Amino acid sequence: MATEEHTDPRDTLRDGLPDRYLTPEDLTVMFSLPSVETVYAWRRKRIGPPCFRIGKHLRFDPAAVREWVAQQTALTDAA
């Protein structure tokens, strides 16, 4: 019986993001955040990429994450 390993989300990139919904842990790895709690803090403060719930789990659409990154980059460039 094969065990499923949690792979680095950057290993399956297409146009910069994986072809599946992302987890908070994926964002932690992708953005080199200190902990997954940073992602949860972004959600509470409504400053991070949009996400949705599947049961009790948060998931992020790769396209929405890409758009959020582009917005953050534009804000930085404009400053």
Phi, psi of 9 (to 5 degrees): -60, -20
Q: What is the pLDDT of residue 75?
A: 84
Residue with the bigger pLDDT between 47 and 77: it is: 47
- Residue 32 located in a structural domain: yes
Which CA distances in Å does 75 have to 53, 69, 71? Answer: 28, 10, 6
The pLDDT confidence band at residue 11, using thresholds 50, 70 and 90, is low
pTM above 0.95, yes or no: no
pLDDT at 20: 87
Has residue 59 been placed in a domain?
Answer: yes
Residue 10 domain flag: no
In a domain, 64, yes or no: yes
Tell me if 2 is assigned to some domain.
no
CATH number at residue 62: 1.10.10
One-letter amino acid identity for 75? L
Res 4 pLDDT > 60: no
Q: Which domain holds residue 66?
A: 20-78
**pLDDT single digits (tens) 20-38:** 899 999 999 999 999 999 9
Please give the tally of structural domains in the chain. Answer: 1
